[in-house]
């Protein structure tokens, strides 16, 4: 369990998240994920990275229970910095990152997927940001890379989810397949990329990042500032305590 990196051959590194029960990562998990993705891309033998998860869903965001049982602000600051590091690691990885998404993809999961280069999803995958229901803000930067602006706002304000078929319609999910075929589909795309000249692909990754209209690191950090405000005002604690207690209204 935790974060593991394996090889699928042909220069394909597979980074797997396995943190039961729902892949809600603790502070150390986010930093571990950042390190794993960065190390995979730094290895000159790597041509492409597949980011996947075990279990019912791809990612359920941060471990709110850890945050609420930790005195002071250390866990909150750690989670914010850890998410920032993990999202940036996917974006800045020296080679393309393919996200293979099954089940739920929530909160921090949107940050990972929104910064990935290619998204392949199972037909039961759903995507959303429950942040406003948790007294926090963040990852609108990354949701905006998956859906058009007004849909992003509606999903954000309502904390609603959208399915993989909808994202495929908008062009942000490359392929939608039955869950049993997800890993094979992600590896098929990975092999297509790995077959190219890695020198060209690495240059292409850097070039494409360089022409992005939005600096995802700065915009996400801007969002995080409002989370700190809500926390200092006591609003965030109210909502996190309600979540831990099982009250979601």
pLDDT digits (tens, 9 = 90+) for 193-211: 999 999 999 999 999 999 9
In-domain check, residue 58: yes
Mean pLDDT for the chain overall: 95
Residue 167: how many CB atoms within 10 A of its CB? 23
The number of helix segments (H) and strand segments (E) in the chain equals 11, 9
In-domain check, residue 194: no
In-domain check, residue 149: yes
pLDDT tens figures, 16-26: 999 999 999 99
- Note the pLDDT of residue 30: 98
- Note the pLDDT of residue 18: 98
Assign 216 a pLDDT band (cuts: 50, 70, 90): very high
Q: Residue 51: give the domain boundaries.
A: 2-181+199-245
In-domain check, residue 191: no
In-domain check, residue 193: no
- Note the pLDDT of residue 241: 85
Higher pLDDT, 135 or 117: 117
Q: Which two tokens stand for residue 239?
A: 């909502």
Please give the distance of CA 132 from its chain centroid, rounded to a whole number. 18
In-domain check, residue 188: no
Average pLDDT over residues 169-188: 98
Q: Provide the Cα torsion 239, 135, 64, 53; round to 10°.
A: 130
Q: What is the CATH number of the domain that holds 121?
A: 3.90.226.10
In-domain check, residue 192: no
Assign 249 a pLDDT band (cuts: 50, 70, 90): very low
CA-CA-CA-CA torsion sign (190, 192, 197, 200)? negative
- What's the chain's Rg over C-alpha atoms? 17
Residue 49 pLDDT greater than 90, yes or no: yes
CA-CA-CA-CA torsion sign (170, 171, 173, 175)? positive
Directed axis angle between helix 108-115 and helix 74-92, to 10°?
A: 20
Q: How many domains are there within the chain?
A: 1
Residue 174 pLDDT greater than 90, yes or no: yes
In-domain check, residue 74: yes
Higher pLDDT, 233 or 73: 233
pLDDT tens figures, 53-86: 999 999 999 988 888 888 788 888 999 999 999 9
pLDDT tens figures, 88-108: 999 999 999 999 999 999 999
């Amino acid at each position: 369990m935790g974060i593991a990196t394996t090889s699928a051959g042909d220069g394909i590194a597979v980074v797997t998240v396995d943190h039961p029960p729902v892949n809600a990562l603790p502070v150390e998990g986010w930093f571990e994920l950042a390190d794993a993705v960065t190390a995979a891309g730094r290895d000159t033998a790597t041509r492409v990275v597949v980011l996947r998860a075990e279990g019912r869903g791809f990612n359920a965001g941060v471990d709110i229970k850890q945050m609420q049982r930790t005195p002071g602000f250390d866990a909150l600051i750690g989670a914010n910095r850890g998410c920032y590091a993990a999202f940036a690691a996917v974006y800045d990885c020296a080679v393309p990152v393919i996200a293979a998404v099954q089940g739920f993809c929530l909160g921090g999961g949107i940050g990972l997927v929104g910064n990935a280069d290619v998204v392949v999803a199972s037909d039961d995958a759903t995507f959303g940001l429950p942040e406003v229901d948790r007294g926090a803000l963040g990852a609108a930067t990354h949701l905006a890379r998956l859906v058009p602006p007004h849909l992003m706002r509606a999903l954000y304000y309502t904390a609603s989810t959208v399915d993989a078929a909808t994202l495929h319609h908008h062009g942000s999910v490359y392929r939608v397949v039955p869950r049993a075929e997800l890993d094979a589909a992600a590896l098929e795309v990975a092999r297509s990329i790995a077959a190219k000249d890695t020198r060209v692909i690495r240059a292409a990754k850097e070039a494409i990042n360089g022409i992005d209209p939005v600096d995802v690191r700065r915009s996400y950090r801007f969002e995080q500032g409002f989370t700190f405000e809500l926390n200092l005002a006591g609003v965030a604690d109210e909502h996190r305590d309600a979540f831990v207690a099982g009250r979601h209204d």
